[in-house]
Amino acid sequence: MAFQLGGALLDACVLSVVMQEDTYGYVLTQRVREIVDLSESTLYPVLRRLQKEGFLITYDEPYQGRNRRYYRITEFGKDQFEKYVKEWQDYKARVDRVLLGGKTGE
């Protein structure tokens, strides 16, 4: 894809995946890769920052003799996600007006 995924949009995508269900890093990476090419080494700093900002919390669950770290969205994270969705809708509408000449495909 020719378009770059900026920080806020990456945050929104991560929060969106975790909004659907608690998940761990590998699954989260696979889901975000549906949108953009992303490595786990790129994702984990994003997850740590989102956790530090209070948008995500973590907990460990045993899996095949090891602990697997899961991510859960907080109420604060849900609020932030809703802000991102609103900002995305506004941004997308503006881009559509320019790229599509006012045609939004609706």
* Domain extents in the chain: 7-94
pLDDT at 2: 56
Residue 106 has pLDDT above 70, yes or no: no
Class of CATH domain 7-94: mainly alpha
**CA–CA distance, 72 with 5 (Å, rounded to integer):** 23
Which tens digits make up the pLDDT trace of 9-47?
999 999 999 999 999 989 999 999 888 888 778 899 999
pLDDT at 35: 83
The whole-model pTM stands at: 0.84
Closest CA to 44 of 73, 16, 69, 74: 69
Average pLDDT taken over every residue of the chain = 90
